[in-house]
Chains A and B, each alone.
Chain A
Amino acid sequence: MDLLHSSAWLQPAFNDPVLDAQVSFRAALKALAEPGLAQPLDRALALQTLQPATYALCLAFLDADTPLWLAPRFDTPAIRANLTFHCGCPIVAERELALFALLDEGELHDLSDFDNGSERYPDQSCTLLVQLAALDGGAPLRWRGPGIKDVRSVSLPLANRFWQQRSARSAFPRGLDAFFAAGVQVIGLPRSTRVLIDAEEAA
């Protein structure tokens, strides 16, 4: 009676599956197009520890073709049941197989196992969906690159270790794209964005 058991966890997802998914997807696109600018994303309700913006990203992105890796904090029966029911996405135990990864700030110190794509298919890299407690409050860093006029100052509360891991995994066109979500907001960080740490001035 596995089915009867798991169905007890199910909750409604988007109110309007078509429009809400489109609005959420649009917000995610906008977040990547203008890295560092927070976009509103409030079309879903929170699901246990998943905040509205994080859950909306999942509902908009995931389907049967996108294996998902879950951080231990999000690996609960309710989150599993709802993601498999509403998105139909396979949940994988190996990070290498995942096209999306749902992370919290505790998982950002080691990104080495996530797929960063290949020279021929850089688009097949793993996209990181990171839920944070807030989107500001960290040290202000200067972001540069496509979608940013000159320089944008962004102060995500992230440890230095994340930025080291990110640059270790990026060899353009290969690299990891990330979304940072907190509450009902999302910030995009595509692989093309250069983040200047301290005085080291990358051209």
Chain B
Amino acid sequence: MHDNPQIATRQRWMGVLARAGAELARYESALKETDYQLIRAPEVGMSLVRGRMGGSGAAFNLGEMTVTRCVVRLVDGRTGYSYVAGRDKRHAELAALADAHLQGRQQRDWLERLIEPLAAAQRARRAAKAAETATTQVEFFTLVRGED
């Protein structure tokens, strides 16, 4: 996370929005209440994903993934950006709208109404998945074979 707390907060909500997927549709009417224009209409493209072996080795190309991005501007001039995985243009547009709204004066309101419920749902999903995976864990023991 970024050192600047303002940027770190924005990174967090952009992450939550990017993972929200179809759940954002529930907030569509609220997000579209204000007039807005598309600075960059939702567009689908490829993004190269790179990684480091062990997190610290030389960078290597993992592969390409589909990404949809969008930029909107609200009537009051706030600009919202989104980059989401996949090809869901509606998701990208709503995420950009949410990002724009979250930069305004009602930030706390939007955080409570939109981001926290989404984040909680994502946390619950992740925990459930982790619990499900945990049941398949196999512990290996090596018994002393007495050869020595």
Q: Which residue of A lies closest to B38 (CB)?
A: A12
Which residues on A sit within 8 Å (CB–CB) of B37?
A: 12
Tally of chain B residues near chain A (CB < 8 A) = 11
Distance in angstroms between the alpha carbons of A4 and B73 in the assembled complex: 12
Interface residues of B in 64-90 (CB under 8 A from A): 71, 73, 77, 79
A interface size (C-beta, 8 A):
10
B39 located at the interface, meaning its Cβ lies under 8 Å from any Cβ of chain A in the complex? yes
B41 on the A face (CB < 8 A): yes
A11 B39 Cβ-Cβ under 8 A: yes
B28 at the interface (CB under 8 A from A): no
CA of A4 to CA of B102, assembled, Å: 13
Q: Which chain B positions have C-beta within 8 A of A12? A: 37-41
Which one of B77, B79, B103 has the highest number of Cβ atoms from chain A below 10 Å of its Cβ?
Answer: B79
Instruction: Write out, one digit per residue, whether chain A residues 1-13 have a CB within 8 A of any chain B CB (1) or not (0).
Output: 0001001101111
Q: A72 contacts which chain B residues (CB < 8 A)?
A: none
Q: A79-92 interface mask toward B, CB cutoff 8 Å, 1 = contact, 0 = none?
A: 00000011000000
- Which single member of A4, A8, A10, A17 contacts B71 (CB below 8 Å)? A10
Q: Which residues of A contact B43 (CB under 8 A)?
A: 17
User: For residue B39, which residues in chain A have a CB less than 8 angstroms away from its CB?
Assistant: 10-12, 85
In the bound complex, how far is the Cα of B73 from the Cα of A7, in angstroms? 9
Complex Cα spacing A199 to B37, Å: 56
**Distance in Å from the Cβ of A5 to the closest Cβ of chain B?**
11
A58 shortest CB reach to chain B, Å: 16
Give, as a whole number of angstroms, the nearest-CB distance from B102 to chain A.
13
A-B contacts besides A8-B79, A12-B39, 12 pairs, CB < 8 Å: A4-B79, A7-B71, A10-B39, A10-B71, A10-B73, A10-B79, A11-B39, A12-B38, A12-B40, A13-B40, A17-B41, A86-B40
Which positions in A face B, CB cutoff 8 Å? 4, 7-8, 10-13, 17, 85-86
Closest 8 CB pairs of A and B: A7-B79, A10-B39, A12-B39, A8-B77, A12-B38, A10-B79, A12-B37, A17-B43
Mind listing 5 A-B residue pairs with CB under 8 Å?
A4-B79, A10-B39, A10-B79, A17-B41, A85-B39
